[in-house]
C-alpha cells in the first residue's frame, strides 16, 4: 500500500520516538549523457540521465567519492552520493520530435519541497516507512566505492514491485502501475525506484551491477523487505528515489485515445525499461551513524548535518558532454 498522509499521521501517533530513516530532497545536479556505473569512462554515454548529488560526479568514479566531493545538491550535507535515472522525454505523436520533460521537486507530505530545484527525493529506510527495528535488524551502511543499479532499459516484462509509475492529479498520487499511464495526468507522472536491500557482504559492484545485491521486496518497497537470503545475508538501508516529471504542458498535444507519448531517453517507449543508478558517497561513517539510531524521520534528524536547499542549489559541475538535450529535438541524444 502506498503511504497516504493519513497513514503517516496514524503511524506517527502510534509509535512516537520510533523513527523510519532518512528522507530528503536533492536538487538536479546535471542532465547529461554520463554513466559512471554502467559505462565508466565513456563520454558520451548511451543515453541522457537526470543526476543529483555530489560534485565528484564524473564519467569515471573510483574510490572514496565522499572524500573527493566538496558540495552536494542534497539536503544532507555529508551525503556526496550520486543518484540518477534515465530522463523522460515527450515524443510528439504526429511529427515525431522529442522534448525533454521538466522535473519538479517532489512535494513531501510534510514540509514542502524546501526550495529544491527539480531533482528527486531520496529515502534510506531502516525497516519500513514509519518504524525502524534496530535491535532485531541492524542496518549496515554501504562502503566507499559501492555502486548498484536497479531495473534495466532492455526489460520486456513487468519490473519488480519497487519500480512504479503513478498518475498525479490534484492531491492524489493515484494507484501504482508497472507501466506508463495510458492517459494524460493533470499533475504529472510520479516515478518510484526502490533498490534491493540485501548485500553479499563482499563485492562493491558486480559485472551486471546488480548481482552483488538481492531484492527480497515482494509486496511494496516501503514495507520491510523480507529476510535476506544466505547468499546475500547483510541487511543494507532500503534506498528509494521519487521523481515528479512535469508532463502537463504536453497533455494538450496527446490526442484522445492515442498511446502514451512519453519515452525514456533510451527511446524506451515501454515503461518496463525504467531503471536507476546509485553511487555511494556519504562522508566517513555519517550514513552508518544515521542508520544506527532512531533519530531520523523524513528530513528531521538529530546529529545528521543538513544544509538549506538554497545552499545545495549552488552546487554545480561543468558540462562534460556538450550537446543539446532540451528544446525540440529531431532525435534523442545518442539515439
Ligand atoms: C573527470 O575525469 C577526468 C578523466 O576521465 C579527469 O581528467 C577530470 O579531472 C575529472 N574531473 C573531476 C571533476 O573529477
Ligand atoms: C513538432 O511539433 C512541435 C509542437 O508544435 C514543434 O514545436 C516542433 O517544431 C515540431 N517538429 C517538427 C520537426 O516539425
CB 277 within 8 A of CB 149: yes
Confidence (pLDDT) at 271: 95
The residues spanned by each domain of the chain are: 17-335
What sign does the CA torsion over 71, 74, 78, 83 have? negative
Angle at 239 between CA 115 and CA 197, to 5 degrees: 175
Confidence (pLDDT) at 111: 61
Going by alpha carbons, the residue nearest to atom 9 of ligand 2 is: 328
Question: Which of 104-113, 138-147, 325-334 shows the lowest mean pLDDT across its residues?
Answer: 104-113
Interval between CA 188 and ligand 2 midpoint (Å): 21
Q: What is the tens place of the pLDDT at every residue in 161-212? A: 999 999 999 888 999 999 999 999 999 999 999 999 999 999 999 999 999 9
Q: 299: left (phi > 0), else alpha (psi -120 to 50), else beta?
A: alpha
CB 32 within 8 A of CB 42: no
Reported as a pLDDT band with limits 50, 70 and 90, residue 226 is: confident
Confidence (pLDDT) at 2: 41
Interval between CA 93 and ligand 2 midpoint (Å): 10
Reported as a pLDDT band with limits 50, 70 and 90, residue 133 is: confident
Residue 304 predicted with pLDDT over 80: yes
Q: Tell me the C-alpha distance between 139 and 157, whole Å.
A: 31
CB 307 within 8 A of CB 238: no
Nearest Cα neighbor of 25 from 111, 101, 126 is 111
Confidence (pLDDT) at 7: 40
10 lines ligand 2 (CB under 6 A): no
Question: Which of 22-36, 40-54, 179-193, 211-225 shows the lowest mean pLDDT across its residues?
Answer: 211-225
Question: Which of 126-135, 151-160, 176-185, 317-326 shows the lowest mean pLDDT across its residues?
Answer: 126-135
Cell of 151: 531495473
Q: What is the mean pLDDT of residues 213-237?
A: 89
In the predicted model, what is the mean pLDDT of the chain? 90
Interval between CA 36 and ligand 1 midpoint (Å): 11
Q: What is the tens place of the pLDDT at every residue in 242-259? A: 999 999 999 999 999 999
Confidence (pLDDT) at 91: 98
CB 222 within 8 A of CB 109: no
Confidence (pLDDT) at 17: 53
Interval between CA 328 and ligand 2 midpoint (Å): 7
Q: Which of the listed residues 42, 44, 58, 64 should we mutate to test ligand 1's pocket, taking the one with most ligand atoms within 8 A of CB?
A: 58
Going by alpha carbons, the residue nearest to atom 9 of ligand 1 is: 58
Q: Which of the listed residues 89, 90, 91, 92 should we mutate to test ligand 2's pocket, taking the one with most ligand atoms within 8 A of CB?
A: 92
99 lines ligand 2 (CB under 6 A): no
Residue 299 predicted with pLDDT over 90: no
Question: Phi, psi (5° rounding) for residue 251?
Answer: -60, -35
Amino acid at each position: 500500500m502506498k503511504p497516504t498522509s493519513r497513514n503517516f499521521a496514524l503511524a506517527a501517533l502510534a509509535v512516537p520516538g520510533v523513527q523510519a530513516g532518512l528522507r530528503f530532497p536533492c536538487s538536479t545536479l546535471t542532465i547529461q549523457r554520463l554513466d559512471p556505473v554502467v559505462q565508466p569512462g565513456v563520454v558520451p554515454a548511451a543515453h541522457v540521465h537526470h543526476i543529483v548529488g555530489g560534485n565528484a560526479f564524473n564519467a569515471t568514479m573510483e574510490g572514496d567519492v565522499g572524500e573527493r566531493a566538496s558540495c552536494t545538491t542534497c539536503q544532507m550535507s555529508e551525503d556526496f552520493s550520486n543518484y540518477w535515472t534515465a530522463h523522460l522525454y515527450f515524443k510528439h505523436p504526429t511529427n515525431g520530435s522529442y522534448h525533454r520533460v521538466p522535473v519538479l521537486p517532489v512535494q513531501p507530505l510534510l514540509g514542502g519541497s524546501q526550495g529544491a530545484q527539480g531533482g528527486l527525493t531520496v529515502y534510506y529506510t531502516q525497516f519500513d516507512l514509519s518504524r525502524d527495528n534496530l535491535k532485531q535488524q541492524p542496518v549496515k551502511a554501504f562502503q566507499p566505492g559501492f555502486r548498484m543499479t536497479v531495473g534495466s532499459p532492455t526489460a520486456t516484462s513487468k519490473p519488480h514491485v519497487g519500480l512504479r509509475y503513478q498518475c498525479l492529479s490534484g492531491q492524489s498520487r493515484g494507484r501504482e502501475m508497472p507501466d506508463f499511464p495510458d492517459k494524460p495526468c493533470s499533475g504529472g507522472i510520479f516515478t518510484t525506484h526502490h533498490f534491493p536491500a540485501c548485500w553479499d557482504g563482499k563485492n562493491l559492484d558486480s559485472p551486471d551491477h546488480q548481482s552483488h545485491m538481492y531484492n527480497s521486496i515482494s509486496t511494496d518497497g516501503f514495507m520491510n523487505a523480507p529476510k535476506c537470503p544466505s547468499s546475500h545475508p547483510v541487511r543494507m538501508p532500503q534506498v528509494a528515489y521519487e521523481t515528479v516529471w512535469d508532463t502537463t504542458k504536453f497533455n494538450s498535444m496527446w490526442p484522445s485515445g492515442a498511446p502514451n507519448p512519453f519515452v525514456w531517453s533510451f527511446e524506451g517507449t515501454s515503461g518496463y525499461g525504467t531503471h536507476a543508478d546509485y553511487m555511494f558517497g556519504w562522508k566517513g561513517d555519517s550514513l552508518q551513524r544515521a542508520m544506527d539510531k532512531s533519530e531520523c524521520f523524513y528530513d528531521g534528524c538529530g546529529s545528521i548535518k543538513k544544509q538549506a536547499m538554497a545552499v545545495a542549489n549552488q552546487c554545480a559541475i561543468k558540462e562534460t558532454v556538450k550537446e543539446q538535450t532540451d528544446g525540440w529535438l529531431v532525435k534523442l541524444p545518442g539515439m
